[in-house]
Structure 1
């Protein structure tokens, strides 16, 4: 997994180590084992990557690595599951079309999916890898204002001028056509309470630094003293086929909506279920691996693309739809 096109421009220059890897799509469907466990047909559509143990219900007492037989990720010991909502284009006539995804820089062969990062620290220091049963959510799909979104201060969008663009992040959806697509960026909290592997809201057991940011080596709050790796998703939505503004609303407003009905972008959110095999992730964090990691087993992007699931809930998600999957209404506030 060589990466020679970018020099990690999106990170501070003092970053010392990180994992960066491709995970292609496992499945796109309405399942959410965290918020709606056991439900076949959660309220909104998700795109899921990672191990094929993903299901409507996922017992935290059972390690995904003990059940999965394959993973879509290029680090072959990572059977975690990562998921986000799905982006749709809303046409002037009120119909919806799912926006396709494309691979990130260096991962152009991947089948959509995401780029995943695990960063141990921006300065030397011990970080504790996640434990079996750990899970978390960042963001809130009900948010529609910037004031609300600032609670999760590192959920952003990048309007791509080209595939190397890593500046100009915004908290709301870009309002102009983006030449190379829209990248959604989801950075999870990096401090843990050290006790709970989950919480009722799936987010209270983790926190952002009490001051500064992870990148500036901000300290963890006393309530969440344990440093954990920064999990970071980059998802590239190929909005280019919808860049003709004659297709946009007559008032010129941006036409993209999330599958949970958000037309502002402030409800951006992501889910994570830890599933690395054994202590593989801790070994990688301790070794300060930089992109490639000899301590970990890898597989090709092509091999990862072979890992897939069939939809459990059969429904049309790709045609021109009269409503969002699940009937989610679109809201602006």
Structure 2
């Protein structure tokens, strides 16, 4: 089924399914969730969302909506920050080149490609959005993935971090948990799905994961109940990020043994260490109101902005001097990945 057909089929959902694009706010070696205050942090991320993003983002003192003046996301009351590692291509001669990003279908023009964000009450393709879920609260944050995972077994506890090798913009099938092993003419899409059961008490935890859980029956798609330790159902947050691999399909540039040439910015060449970060920042109760509304994307009362306005937020943030400058090349052909990393497979 083509993606445009799926979108039309979902338009009749009985509760809100939120799908929106965010332009890229900045690309830098910063990670205020895992490495707060560290400048630079160990590896490069792409960050989208509110322009109050900074190196520390202390949850005890930070009012994200109040401190942000704009957001690079389509919902103009969403000042959350969402971020992921970025992808590099390792050429046959051993040098690395950043893989550019593409905006998702129907969101052409988003600066830097950015990412598409979803909030879902129920499985996306199986049934209409029917469940009532609780929105995240101010100060909430979470992380998904394991930077040290290098095998399928090690990645298995994160049940829904996947890749799609795209032949065209509508490719959405045959997801894998490791990097695709064949050339992808259009791109590689990563889909990062967060757990959906909250303990109802803690806005964070030392590993940024323990306060969240998967349903008792496994994945979000199982539609199973939450465990007693994490009884509060939340919407599933999912990121889709598309990397433009169309310039990296020549076999002459790939390793001589034909193995796949892509590597995360922190050196993982297997793909099993895919991960993502989320810091909640919706204004007031705007997210809960949307989740309680019978709508799809165009939700009554929800404030949105154009892609041009999203991009202006990114431009003003980068010109403002708010973010510390890290003087390093992250885009040219590099002998090592920023931070001194090299591709590793174990």
Structure 1: give runs of 5+ residues left out of the alignment: none
Q: Is the 8 A contact 1:6 1:105 kept in 2?
A: no
Report the number of matched residues: 329
Deviation at 1:14, TM superposition (A): 7.9
Question: Residue 113 of structure 1 corresponds to which residue in structure 2?
Answer: 114
**Does the CA contact (< 8 Å) of 1:120 and 1:288 recur in 2?**
no
1:99 aligns with 99
- Counterpart Cα distance in 2 of 1:148 and 1:9: 37
Kept after mapping to 1: 8 A contact 2:72/2:313: yes
Q: The residue matched to 2:313 in structure 1 has which SS?
A: coil
Deviation digits for residues 245-276 of structure 1 (CA, Å, limit 9, x no counterpart): 11000000000000010000000000000000
| Partner SS, residue 290 of structure 1 | coil
- For residues 196-223 of structure 1, what are the alpha-carbon distances to aligned partners after superposition, in whole Å with 9 as ceiling and x for unaligned? 0000000010011110432231111111
Structure 2 counterpart of 1:265: 271
2:126 is matched with which residue? none
Report the counterpart of residue 48 of structure 2 in structure 1: 49
Q: Which runs of 5+ in 2 are unaligned?
A: 124-128
What are the Cα deviations for residues 34-86 of structure 1, in whole angstroms up to 9, with x where unaligned? 11101110001000000011111002132211101110001000000000000
Helix, strand or coil at the partner of 1:183: strand
**Contact residue 17 and residue 121 of structure 1 kept, 8 A:** no
Partner of residue 63, structure 1: 63
CA shift, 1:162, in A, is: 1.1
Report if aligned partners of 1:118, 1:231 keep a CA contact under 8 Å in 2.
yes
Deviations 1:151-189 (A, max 9, x none): 001000000111111110000000000121100000000
CA distance in 2 between partners of 1:171 and 1:262 (Å): 13
Counterpart Cα distance in 1 of 2:266 and 2:94: 16
TM-score, normalised via structure 2 length: 0.92
The match for 1:199 is 205
Superposed CA deviations along residues 81-103 of structure 1, whole A, max 9, x for unmatched, are 00000000011111110000011
8 Å Cα contact 1:6/1:164 also seen in 2: no
State the Cα deviation string for residues 120-161 of structure 1 (Å, max 9, x = none). Answer: 234533211000000000111110000011100100000011
* CA RMSD, Structure 1 to Structure 2 (Å): 1.8
Tell me: CA distance 1:292–1:323, structure 2 relative to 1, closer, same or farther (3 Å): same
Aligned pair in 2 of structure 1 residues 85, 276: CA closer, same or farther (>3 Å)?
A: same
The reply to whether residue 332 of structure 1 matches residue 345 of structure 2 is yes
- CA offsets per residue over residues 291-317 of structure 1, 9 Å max, x none? 221221000011101112336212111
What aligned pairs does 1:216-255 form with structure 2 within 5 A after superposition?
Answer: 216-255=222-261
Distance 2:309 2:130 in 1: 34
* Contact 2:29–2:42, Cα closer than 8 Å, also in 1: yes
TM-score, normalised with respect to structure 1: 0.95
The corresponding residue for 1:171 is 177
CA contact (8 A) 2:163 2:176 kept: yes
Q: How does 1:66-145 map to 2 (within 5 A)?
A: 66-111=66-111, 112-122=113-123, 124-145=130-151
Which consecutive segments of 4 or more residues in structure 1 shift more than 3 A?
8-11, 13-17
